[in-house]
Chains A and B, each alone.
Chain A
Amino acid sequence: MTVTREPSSAAPRPGRHSAVRSLLRLWPYVRPVRGRLVVGALSAVVASCLGLLIPLTLKWIVDGPVAGRDPSGVWLGGLALLVLGVAEAGLFGVRRMIVAGPLARVEADMRAALYARLQRLPVSFHDRWPSGQLLSRATTDLMLLRIFLSFPLTFLLVNGVTIVVGCVILLQQRWTLGLVLLAPVVPMVVLCSVFEERYARTARKAQDQIGDLTTVVEESVLGIRVIKGFGRHRGQERAFRALSWRLRETELRKAGLLGTLWALIVILPELAIGAALVLGVVEVGDGELSAGTLVAFLSTALALRWPVESIGFLLAITNESATATDRFFEVMDTAEASAGDAVATAPVLAGARVKDAGLRLEGVWFRYPDAPEDAPPVLCGVDLSVRPGETMALVGATGSGKTTLTALVPRLHEPTAGRIVLDGRDITGLSRERLRELVAVAFEEPTLFSASAAENVLMGAPDAGEERLLAALAVAQAEFVHELPQGRRTRLGEQGLSLSGGQRQRLALARAVIGEPRFLVLDDPLSALDVHTEALVEAALREVLATTTALVVAHRPSTVLLADRVALLSRGRIAAVGTHHELLHTHEEYASLMSGPAGPEGGDPR
């Protein structure tokens, strides 16, 4: 079993931007907490300065009061030390405390934004992106960004400034020796930029591989029944093992790059210090330089060692954060389900003539946006008109595009061409919100969420009262919820009780009808029901359908009989419209689709 790579169409990567450019995009999320971050950084700087004062105070105590045998001076010095120490500790604490909350907030805000965006991206986006890739963006990537903002970013600034100031001091002390020390700067900058390029690429690869790994984990948990049913743990495990092995290789490559960078960043400055030392000693020997100046010069140089060395891992984490930011914005930059949402909605029937009422599809074409060029479209010119109050059954062979067609009405997918008109209004002129209020759907695969049974049904009409809830449950023959362990408050879905397919389907049906929607789209809503229940649901559903404009996908005559008319979908078009009996006698394909196994001749279906 291979695992899908992240689709290239979903993640266009136009030559990576520089790390800085990527990271600057974080600003809108950091902006609200900028004050706290600045105060935090400032207290870090002040605390570092106080930290530098402490050795000076020690020196003063030893040279002054102690050497001069001045007890009151010693106490004064001790007190000064204590004050400085307390202040330093306090400021370090303040820095951490002041940024702890805001940075957690930045992470949470970004996650909320990602979640909100993902919920509103078109279904076609979700079809393309493996969910593990989305999840890893929402978790590991964002955690990394929080860590980056909390320390490395500050260190990068503080250490960078320290290095610059240190170099200025070095040049001032002895510019010849200073130049010797600065000699490795050019090769280091070149090497670092080469490193940056490579490391970023490898880090990105590792992050994508974590996403793939997450996808395999998710699938093997969601598909556990299949895996168990076939005893295929080994196969899944092999796939997982191969992926985690690949991830390990990438991580080792990252470590290899990092190790090389460390080596360069340690060796080059050390060599320069060594050269400066030798030169300095010669100069002191020649009497051109005082020994004191050389000591001061070298102590400064040695003090700069840590800031310089830290650049290695700081660069690494900066690059990783930059690629994590890229990954985040790849999703955020995807256009939200296009147009329509901003349009103010006029009353639906405004200006429309009565004959326009109902649901009409006019020359609707559809092909999946990521389908290969040469693949035929799923729908090619569907014309269908459902009169107000009418129930239209939609019949077609398995895979003929019935489900796709139903997904176009609530705009889960957008038609490639043509338009869909509800009560005289093009649906693209309605806000999605309003459209989905008008159209309720029951999907063939009923999904229940982690919520109580009642809440799952009430999702169709958030402010429906008790009465309507009971009525909807009655229509769908879903009164079984009252028999559940905690009645209608029983938690369902993944975190709760699992129901049978038929039970789930009935709840999904109740969810669709509870809102008393103007348009009802039902995708084979009774497929998992047994004959008795089906008959009961049909009887109850008839009353609902009498007053609703409905499109019902049907596989069986019993479901078709709910409808006033039937449309046959064949080869991407509506091949025929009529009543069940008309079509049964006049249309061969329809007859073969509808004749049961005990049907008259049971000829070849295809």
Chain B
Amino acid sequence: MTTTVSGRPAAEDDRPEEPPPGDPFDRDVLPTPKGASRALLRSLLAPARGRVRLAAVLLLLQQAAVQAGPLLVAYAIDSGVPAVRRHDHGPLVAVAAGYLVCALASGLLQMAFVRLAARVGQDALLELRGRIFRHAQALSIDFHERYTSGRLISRATTDVESIRELLNDGLQELIGVALSVLYVSAMLLWLDPATGGAALLSFLPLALLVRSYRRRSLIAHRRRSTAIAAVIVKFTETMNGIRPVQAFRRERANDADFDGLNRVHQRTNTATALAMAHYVVCSRLVANSMVAAIVVWGSYRVADGSLALGVLAASVLYLRRLYDPIDRLGMFLNTYQSAAASLEKIAGLLARRPSVREPEAPVALPVRPPGRPGREVVFDGVRFAYRAGAPVLPRLDLTLRAGETVAVVGSTGAGKSTLAKLLARFYDPTEGRILLDGVPLSALAGPELRRGVVMVTQEAFLFSGTVAENIAIGRPGASRAEIERAAKAIGAHDFITALPDGYDTDVRKRGGRISAGQRQLVAFARALLADPAVLILDEATSSLDIPGERAVQRAMRTVLRGRTAVVIAHRLSTVEIADRVLVMAGGRVVEDGVPAELARGGGHFAGLHRAWRDSLV
């Protein structure tokens, strides 16, 4: 499953290298434990077991009411007519009353069934959506970096949609088919065991057909689900990057790429429909030939007197009805297999365990003695490598004293961001541990961890909602006064009040109207509101102008007092407020000291500092 840019000369060599075969992420098939999809469906329906049974009973009663209609007609003609001729209107009144009851019963029961079934289905969907969402949120960053947002969206939307179809109509179809087959088989066997037996024999080839259809269509539906996920990935990527798409005239190239993915989906769609067509033709052929054979056989038995003519006539009529549900069964199987393919993908997602796990026996952080600022951080023999790569941090032993503001500098790839992400527990170290006041990060429960450590990144993502709500992510339930205080502290208050609705301005689609610098200020305010013991700032001021940056720095002098701070910055202006500087290179700390001293020395930092001074003009 690849998206490559096409229609370009000499592009052939620049195509992205194909992923190694067998990487489940690239083929959008995560390993799913056997039977997991069925277990998932069962667990979704389990709480509604009683309702499912009740629905089945309603449907049975409804069918009984429907089937009573022809019986009443027969009774009316056989007994009603003679009675009327005798001027006895009793049977006719009974028929009228009976018909009225049946009509009302079949209508009302149908209504009750539809409503009940919808409830069962919607409750299961609510649970399923919630589970996917919760699980996706719980999975670690490394999972998200590989799975892509488009696929997750596809799991939570189109895959849920195909399960919705099953839950919506599946129950009714299934019960309908089963009832009708049972009823007709019973009638046939009762009329004439031989004919009935022969008819039942025909179920054998039909069962084989059903089996082969299920296999074929599951494969087709699997491909379809993967194909639509690829379409969604491309779609979201384009819409989220619409500015560069338009500015670089990517529209036509994108049309071509999208067309490729879209056509794959079209083909898989056609394949599922063809599998269904194949099944319908074959099973109809089996059924219709069976009818012909039984009729001929029956006729001979009538001829030699072993079968009554009336019985043959009746059997033949029932025989035809026996095979009526074939199409409906096909439809049901189609929705079922489509749902099964989606369930499989969802179950695969739900089976992923977060690589950064919640502790089983969480430990609480020691109570901070009053007056002691922040918390102490210890990197104890930490080694870290991204999947299948050389170690980014070969070995790191480091102690950040409580209340210290530490600046981390170094060139791209030196391991600064990795250090920050490990401290924020976006990843767990490959070896070694990170201690917060002596407690390993991995032993802290989520909420406890976030009271301890919060990270502000360079990409300041805004969620749709108001500015105030976006700041309140730092601490849900914060009052407006607290939110404003945080914004004022960081110098964001002025621009926010200048917005059309002040703090209640809707940032709309990912903050389209708020400039990058302003967004960083909002992200800062968010972090301040969270009031963590350890604050990590990962290039969090890159888009600010100089007065903005200066305001932030002034604010930080007060804000960082009372907590431990790790500041990653390529603008050394930030370093001025630090108590200590770490210079990193190749995943190791190569210089460590007080900024002023390092700047005076002849090391790496001194060079950086000089270059920065010069850049200020």
Would A116 and B285 count as touching, CB distance under 8 A? no
Would A131 and B251 count as touching, CB distance under 8 A? no
Residues in A with CB closer than 8 Å to B285 are 85-86, 89
Would B547 and A557 count as touching, CB distance under 8 A? no
Tell me if A179 counts as interface (CB < 8 A to partner B).
Answer: no
Would A223 and B611 count as touching, CB distance under 8 A? no
B612 to chain A, nearest CB (A): 5
User: When chains A and B are docked, how far (Å) is the Cα of A578 from the Cα of B614?
Assistant: 22
User: When chains A and B are docked, how far (Å) is the Cα of A432 from the Cα of B70?
Assistant: 71
Tell me if A302 counts as interface (CB < 8 A to partner B).
Answer: yes
Tell me if A490 counts as interface (CB < 8 A to partner B).
Answer: yes
Would A274 and B100 count as touching, CB distance under 8 A? yes
User: When chains A and B are docked, how far (Å) is the Cα of A508 from the Cα of B513?
Assistant: 22
Residues in B with CB closer than 8 Å to A265 are 107
Would A229 and B246 count as touching, CB distance under 8 A? no
> Given the known A-B contacts A118-B239, A443-B244, A594-B546, are A531 and B263 also in contact in the complex, defined by CB atoms under 8 Å?
no
Max count, chain A CB within 10 A of own CB: residue among B254, B506, B543 = B543
Would B107 and A126 count as touching, CB distance under 8 A? no
User: When chains A and B are docked, how far (Å) is the Cα of A351 from the Cα of B4?
Assistant: 42
Contacts between chains A and B (CB distance < 8 A), count: 596
User: When chains A and B are docked, how far (Å) is the Cα of A98 from the Cα of B366?
Assistant: 72
Q: Which of B126-151 contact A (CB under 8 A)?
A: 126, 129-130, 133-134, 136-138, 141, 144-145, 148-150
Tell me if A498 counts as interface (CB < 8 A to partner B).
Answer: yes
User: When chains A and B are docked, how far (Å) is the Cα of A450 from the Cα of B257?
Assistant: 11
Tell me if B355 counts as interface (CB < 8 A to partner A).
Answer: no
Q: Chain B 81-119 against A: per-residue CB contact (8 Å), 1 yes, 0 no?
A: 101110000001001100110111011101111110111
Neighbour of A443 across the interface among B15, B111, B243, B547, CB < 8 A: B243
User: When chains A and B are docked, how far (Å) is the Cα of A529 from the Cα of B543?
Assistant: 11
> Given the known A-B contacts A115-B258, A281-B81, are A597 and B157 also in contact in the complex, defined by CB atoms under 8 Å?
no
> Given the known A-B contacts A1-B465, A222-B461, are A533 and B411 also in contact in the complex, defined by CB atoms under 8 Å?
yes
Neighbour of A112 across the interface among B153, B259, B295, CB < 8 A: B259
Tell me if A358 counts as interface (CB < 8 A to partner B).
Answer: no
What is the size, in residues, of chain A's interface with B at 8 Å between Cβ atoms? 204
Tell me if B10 counts as interface (CB < 8 A to partner A).
Answer: yes
> Given the known A-B contacts A89-B288, A90-B281, A221-B136, are A112 and B255 also in contact in the complex, defined by CB atoms under 8 Å?
yes
Tell me if B590 counts as interface (CB < 8 A to partner A).
Answer: no
Q: Which of B440-473 contact A (CB under 8 A)?
A: 446-447, 449-450, 454-459, 461, 463-466, 469, 473
**Interface 9-mer from B29-37, B198-206, B393-401, B548-556:** B548-556
User: When chains A and B are docked, how far (Å) is the Cα of A118 from the Cα of B455?
Assistant: 35
> Given the known A-B contacts A123-B242, A219-B510, A281-B92, are A228 and B426 also in contact in the complex, defined by CB atoms under 8 Å?
yes
Neighbour of A100 across the interface among B104, B273, B476, CB < 8 A: B273
A55 to chain B, nearest CB (A): 7
Residues in A with CB closer than 8 Å to B526 are 226, 230
Would A230 and B473 count as touching, CB distance under 8 A? yes
Neighbour of A258 across the interface among B114, B157, B571, B576, CB < 8 A: B114
Q: Which of A317-341 contact B (CB under 8 A)?
A: none
Neighbour of B512 across the interface among A127, A266, A375, CB < 8 A: A127
Q: Nearest B residue to A59 by beta-carbon distance? A: B313
User: When chains A and B are docked, how far (Å) is the Cα of A402 from the Cα of B543?
Assistant: 13
User: When chains A and B are docked, how far (Å) is the Cα of A78 from the Cα of B263?
Assistant: 46
Q: Which of B269-291 contact A (CB under 8 A)?
A: 269-270, 273-274, 276-278, 280-281, 284-285, 287-289, 291
> Given the known A-B contacts A263-B108, A452-B15, are A135 and B115 also in contact in the complex, defined by CB atoms under 8 Å?
no
Residues in A with CB closer than 8 Å to B236 are 131, 135, 218
Tell me if A164 counts as interface (CB < 8 A to partner B).
Answer: no
Tell me if B191 counts as interface (CB < 8 A to partner A).
Answer: no
Q: Nearest B residue to A460 by beta-carbon distance? A: B248
Q: Which of B49-87 contact A (CB under 8 A)?
A: 69-70, 72-73, 76-77, 80-81, 83-85
Residues in B with CB closer than 8 Å to A62 are 309, 312-313, 316
Would B539 and A97 count as touching, CB distance under 8 A? no
> Given the known A-B contacts A131-B240, A221-B149, A447-B241, are A104 and B266 also in contact in the complex, defined by CB atoms under 8 Å?
yes
Neighbour of B95 across the interface among A58, A277, A599, CB < 8 A: A277
Residues in B with CB closer than 8 Å to A576 are none
Q: Which of B285-333 contact A (CB under 8 A)?
A: 285, 287-289, 291-293, 295-296, 299-300, 302-303, 309, 312-313, 316-317, 320, 327
Tell me if B247 counts as interface (CB < 8 A to partner A).
Answer: yes
Q: Chain B 1-21 against A: per-residue CB contact (8 Å), 1 yes, 0 no?
A: 001110111110111110100
Would B110 and A262 count as touching, CB distance under 8 A? yes
Tell me if B48 counts as interface (CB < 8 A to partner A).
Answer: no
Residues in B with CB closer than 8 Å to A107 are 266, 269
> Given the known A-B contacts A66-B309, A270-B106, are A221 and B570 also in contact in the complex, defined by CB atoms under 8 Å?
no
Would B152 and A489 count as touching, CB distance under 8 A? no
User: When chains A and B are docked, how far (Å) is the Cα of A485 from the Cα of B237?
Assistant: 23
Tell me if B22 counts as interface (CB < 8 A to partner A).
Answer: no
Q: Chain A 197-223 against B: per-residue CB contact (8 Å), 1 yes, 0 no?
A: 000000000000010011101111111
**Interface 9-mer from A17-25, A31-39, A152-160, A249-257:** A249-257
Tell me if A15 counts as interface (CB < 8 A to partner B).
Answer: no
Neighbour of A597 across the interface among B73, B411, B573, CB < 8 A: B573
Would B259 and A55 count as touching, CB distance under 8 A? no
Q: Which of A516-554 contact B (CB under 8 A)?
A: 524, 527-535
Tell me if A28 counts as interface (CB < 8 A to partner B).
Answer: no
User: When chains A and B are docked, how far (Å) is the Cα of A462 from the Cα of B11?
Assistant: 9
Tell me if A176 counts as interface (CB < 8 A to partner B).
Answer: no
Tell me if B181 counts as interface (CB < 8 A to partner A).
Answer: no
Would B76 and A281 count as touching, CB distance under 8 A? yes
Neighbour of A260 across the interface among B111, B316, B389, B515, CB < 8 A: B111
A41 to chain B, nearest CB (A): 15
Q: Which of B386-440 contact A (CB under 8 A)?
A: 389, 409, 411-413, 417, 424, 426
Tell me if B253 counts as interface (CB < 8 A to partner A).
Answer: yes
Q: Which of A430-455 contact B (CB under 8 A)?
A: 432-433, 436-437, 439-441, 443-445, 447, 449-452, 454-455
Q: Which of A547-606 contact B (CB under 8 A)?
A: 555-558, 561, 580, 592-599, 602, 605-606
**Interface 9-mer from A186-194, A239-247, A414-422:** A239-247
Q: Nearest A residue to B14 by beta-carbon distance? A: A454
Neighbour of B153 across the interface among A69, A119, A135, A533, CB < 8 A: A135
Tell me if B249 counts as interface (CB < 8 A to partner A).
Answer: yes
> Given the known A-B contacts A135-B153, A412-B243, A502-B570, are A108 and B263 also in contact in the complex, defined by CB atoms under 8 Å?
yes
Tell me if A231 counts as interface (CB < 8 A to partner B).
Answer: yes
B578 to chain A, nearest CB (A): 13
Would B103 and A81 count as touching, CB distance under 8 A? no
Tell me if A139 counts as interface (CB < 8 A to partner B).
Answer: yes
User: When chains A and B are docked, how far (Å) is the Cα of A397 from the Cα of B144?
Assistant: 36
Residues in B with CB closer than 8 Å to A274 are 96, 99-100, 103
Neighbour of A455 across the interface among B11, B278, B454, CB < 8 A: B11
Q: Nearest A residue to B73 by beta-carbon distance? A: A298
Tell me if B238 counts as interface (CB < 8 A to partner A).
Answer: yes
Max count, chain B CB within 10 A of own CB: residue among A65, A123, A403 = A123
Would B242 and A126 count as touching, CB distance under 8 A? yes
Would A101 and B291 count as touching, CB distance under 8 A? no
Would B17 and A143 count as touching, CB distance under 8 A? no
Max count, chain A CB within 10 A of own CB: residue among B13, B463, B469, B542 = B463
Neighbour of A77 across the interface among B228, B295, B512, CB < 8 A: B295
A350 to chain B, nearest CB (A): 22
Would B262 and A111 count as touching, CB distance under 8 A? yes
Would A4 and B157 count as touching, CB distance under 8 A? no
Would A241 and B500 count as touching, CB distance under 8 A? no
> Given the known A-B contacts A119-B254, A455-B5, A495-B148, are A592 and B262 also in contact in the complex, defined by CB atoms under 8 Å?
no
Q: List 9 A-B contacts (CB under 8 A).
A: A92-B284, A127-B509, A221-B144, A241-B130, A274-B99, A399-B498, A437-B249, A500-B413, A593-B546
Given contacts A55-B320, A398-B548, 5 further A-B contacts (CB under 8 A): A218-B236, A227-B137, A286-B84, A436-B247, A462-B253
5 shortest interchain CB distances as A-B pairs: A85-B288, A605-B547, A285-B84, A255-B118, A231-B450
